[in-house]
Structure 1
């Protein structure tokens, strides 16, 4: 009589790491963008609603990619890093180190380095944690913490990014160097669900904006051609050059031809004869 096969141990749930500040800022930015874009689409005239829609299609995926999308998921078998434009999944056996200096990084066994966008490093938080640890180390026995306190209880004296990196290292140590059967291999996937809308929205906005600028330039040329000014007359200048005529040329064209008569009369006056000045006609 054979004994029944024991049920497989259920996999542990993923531990999720995100930046709370990024989530808050991303939500506020999306509300602001929706308000401004919706107003332009409802009240705009001509091509303005279409340009606003294209701008929303460009900006919204980028805001989501850099604020709401970044996350790190870790369990006893693998780590999954979701960055703005890529998703990296590696088993712990292919991870060499997780570290945080000026930014949080995941170093693979083959030397490839991946940034952890969901775990931002704050130098100010590190300085604050260092000051807290220094004060706690010099407290007297009647204070909050004494010199003989348990130094392993350092969660309150460590910056959040450094504490997260320490937790990931603990998970990697518990996973060990053996890969479970059926575990997924390492993979890197581009986030086309973010890249495609952003590229499409940017292309549509550039095309629409180019048409609008071309129409505005054409309307300006027609208006300048229909109005009298320095660019019209015997020596008419059309197009953009009409607005770029030198000031000296414009003044000379505005002076009437009869303005030379006073100079001629002044040259034939007795004062001019006394000085021996003659006028040639």
Structure 2
């Protein structure tokens, strides 16, 4: 489990809908809560709407209907200045560790970019960037290299370091290990657990793997075709799933190696 002590609701969504001009409705009435300090797993097969929900929670895309509140603030109604302040508190780590990094930028530029965007005077100097790398298990020598010089697991560590640059409290993790082999993915998951313990982070962890969600998450929300079909404590849902679709997800993914 991510933590033993959970706080109040940090992220709250009600009736989220995303419908495109073609008429395709990829998210249909999703409501969920994420408590401060917990890891909520959002699980479902490809195309179920998981990533779209995550992007709406961070207002990276606009919902067609519904509400999102972040720490009690109406995120969808926030003006540009208020939204800018809120963005410091929430970040996302994407699935593809290479596509998320600018191949023309050295690691030092990638890690310093959040400070530049948010106009952090005196931040992003070499000592700070070295500490950021150390937190994710990388050497200082990485600063002068380009993304193509790293393995997939190392690139994802760089993405995580960048996401944590401004000390956010909430991370949406969009299948962050699905592009990695099993052993490297397990190391990244353990890093995420350690970072959560150290900084009291709140996670939305998106995955198609129920065993991985069971290992990392406090609660799980199961999505099928844009709708939530089951929400509950991870151990309870995995041990006695109520929905047939949830049972199928559990049966379809092997247990994680010990």
Which TM bucket (shorter chain)? under 0.3
Question: TM-score when scaled to structure 1?
Answer: 0.18
Structure number having the greater strand percentage: 2
Question: TM-score when scaled to structure 2?
Answer: 0.19
Structure number having the greater helix percentage: 1
Higher relative contact order (CA 8 A, sep 6+): 2
Structure with higher Rg: it is 1
